[in-house]
Amino acid sequence: MRKITYKEALREALKEEMRRDPTVFLLGEDIGRYWGGAFKVTEGLSAEFGDERVRDTPISENAIIGTAVGAAITGMRPVAEIMFGDLTALAMDQIANQAAKIHYMFGGQINCPLVIRTPFGAGVNIASHHSQSLEAWFMHVPGLYVAVPSTPYDAKGLLKSAIRGGNPVFFCEHKLLYPIQGEVPEEEYTVTFGIADVKREGADVTVVATLYMVHKALKAAEMLEAEGISVEVVDPRTLTPLDKQTIIKSVKKTGRIVIVSEDCKTAGVSAEIAAVVAEEALDYLDAPIKRVAEPDTPIPFSPPLEQYVIPDEKAIIKAVKEVV
């Protein structure tokens, strides 16, 4: 099977859905013909689809999402790009109080088929305003779907499903994933929301990881295999809906769990998954639940300090050895 990058997989999904459905259009800062997006995901799309369907916007996140919500409820299928995930804070009313609630507030008479694409994550030395991982904010909002694809295959399949669905979707992409290559079929496919993927089978401990942390977990699993420790790596792929059953099934098999996420540890993604396991699989645990996450601190600009706070393979290995 051919291999393409995460960035190329996203671009393919956008291109195929725009060809399939004329109501799909893109909007965001610098996504058009002169720049192609901050991370070049939309590069070249305006040449095929024109400036009306690949729309450069002013530097106003609330205007981008407000426009997208209005377009969605009147029959269009907008895909809005926010240049950095941290800047969604400027559009939280439009996301959390309008897009997420409008179907409920109007008794199901209105749908809001909106996709918000945005990159999260640290590791490129661009400081606190452009390096956070805020996925847990959006898990907390009823009415939003939250996707966290870690591979090119999942990125393309989930994005196509998001665009075709009838719900507002918050689509998280990690900056360091864009150049990563993976196998992606040339034929048509989608990935269903709410179905986790076991990225590696194992017997001794379950490691649940998201986004870029999936790749660090897989590397840690390889290193631990050399020491005789068998690690199962589970990638939820979506946080809302969350595939609890796959996680619980894995915990029942291994009896141990380590949860790895790049967001802050307090009230983060790992906290919710830990709560699910504690409530629904406590009797199957042979050791305490362990979490590997960032400390509760703004992301430093200094490269050594930034690397210090980001979870790495050593931290995952340490946590696994503590429970095995």
Q: For residue 60, give every residue at least 6 positions away whose Cβ sits within 8 Å of its Cβ, in sequence order, or none.
A: 90
Please report which residue ranges of 166-312 form alpha helices under DSSP H: 212-225, 244-254, 269-280, 303-309
In the DSSP assignment, the letter for residue 300 is: P
Give helix 6-20 / helix 152-164 axis angle, nearest 10°: 30
- The total of other beta-carbon atoms located within 10 Å of residue 318's CB is 14
- Does 129 qualify as catalytic in the annotation? no
Give helix 313-323 / helix 212-225 axis angle, nearest 10°: 60
Identify the CA nearest to 246 among candidates 211, 322, 195. Answer: 195
User: 103, 129, 130, 174: which is the annotated catalytic residue?
Assistant: 130
Identify the CA nearest to 14 among candidates 56, 58, 38, 48. Answer: 48
Token digits of residue 243? 């595939």
CA atoms of 146 and 138, how far apart (whole Å): 7
CA atoms of 50 and 18, how far apart (whole Å): 11
Residue 169 sits at the vertex; the CA angle it makes with 8 and 113, to the nearest 5 degrees, is: 105
> What are the residue numbers of the active site?
130
